Structure 1
Amino acid sequence: MAKLFLSLHVLAAILAIGPITVAASMFPRLARTAPTPETPALLHKICRSYAYVGAAVPVLGIATGAALGVLSDAWLVVSIVLTGVAAGVLVAVILPGQSELLEPLEGGEGAVAGEEERRAAGARLAMTTGVFNLLWAAVVVLMIVRPGSTTGA
């Protein structure tokens, strides 16, 4: 059962978190330079939709950890915490930031209206997306190296 959970966990991570990291990384620049709002809106929709699918990643990860009997190992606990922080950054900062930058592009009364404000908001969003991506990179390293594990590298 552990092999099944691990396989599903890795597949979910690749198929859900991968598109979020790519779309979120592309969004700030395209929100500023795209001639029409369709492309940034599509990237935002990808991030938002895959965030729901991405919830399967920690669920399957915890199931895998339980099946392997490593739920209390430090590397897994740190991975779970970093995953929670990354999810919080996505839900609390990235998705609302994308929505805020999209509103004026789509003809709304958006809060980020002036060019200088939009540029600053885009830069903040790009920085936050970088932090989000670094959190996931740290989780991947922990999953591969597993410090303190007898089977770790």
Structure 2
Amino acid sequence: MNKFLLSVHVLAAIIFVGPVTVAASMFPPIARRELAADEPAGAVLRVLHRITRGYAIGGLTVPVFGLAVGAGLGVLGEAWLIVSMVLTAAAAGVLAVVVLPGQSEIVAAVDGDPALRESLVGRARSLSMKTGVFGLLWATVVVLMIIRPGSTTGV
């Protein structure tokens, strides 16, 4: 059963976390370009926002199955897994509280008043850093999952 749970956990990470990270990181540079354009076409931003939001919801399966795997292996008390869970929660928080609302605000304004669009260019710039933090948190979790300090596998 653990092999099945681990397979679903890894597949969910690849299928959901990868695309949400890519879409979230593509959003800020395109947003800066569109916000500065004379005639912005917000369609690409709307698609990237929809991908980010949709795959973020699907990404909830990653920690759910990860907890199931950890419980099955009896490693929920291991420090590397606790750190991974905290970093996963932090990444989810950055995405839900910072990235998605920032994207929503930009998407809502991209077809609006030029002065409003211009005022959001700075937010789009700072969104780049915030999505970078989100990606770095996930990268750290992946490294911890591979290295597993204190693991008895010898790998």
The TM-score bracket by the shorter chain reads over 0.9
Q: Does 1:130 find its partner at 2:135?
A: no
Contact 1:144/1:152 (8 A) holds in 2: no
> Match of 1:71?
76
Distance 1:44 1:4, change over 3 A: same
> Match of 2:90?
85
Q: Cα RMSD (Å) of the superposition?
A: 1.7
Say which of 113, 116, 124 aligns to 1:113: 116
What SS does the aligned partner of 2:116 have? coil
Q: Matches of 2:56 and 2:111 in 1, distance apart?
A: 23
> Match of 2:109?
104
Q: Matches of 1:114 and 1:144 in 2, distance apart?
A: 43
> Match of 1:19?
19
Instruction: Spell out, residue by residue over 1:69-120, the C-alpha distance to the aligned partner (whole angstroms, 9 max, x if none).
Output: 111111111000000000000000000000111112133x7xx8152x3221
Identity of aligned residues (%): 58
Contact 2:32/2:125 (8 A) holds in 1: no
Contact 1:12/1:57 (8 A) holds in 2: yes
Q: Matches of 2:154 and 2:104 in 1, distance apart?
A: 41
- List alignment gaps of at least 5 residues for structure 2: 35-39
Q: Does 1:147 find its partner at 2:155?
A: no
Say which of 51, 54, 72 aligns to 1:46: 51
What SS does the aligned partner of 1:113 have? helix
The offset of 1:4, in angstroms, is 0.4
Contact 1:62/1:71 (8 A) holds in 2: yes
Structure 2 letter corresponding to 1:137: A
Structure 1 letter corresponding to 2:133: V
> Match of 2:37?
none
Structure 2 letter corresponding to 1:129: T
Distance 1:98 1:152, change over 3 A: farther
> Match of 1:33?
33
Q: Matches of 2:22 and 2:91 in 1, distance apart?
A: 15
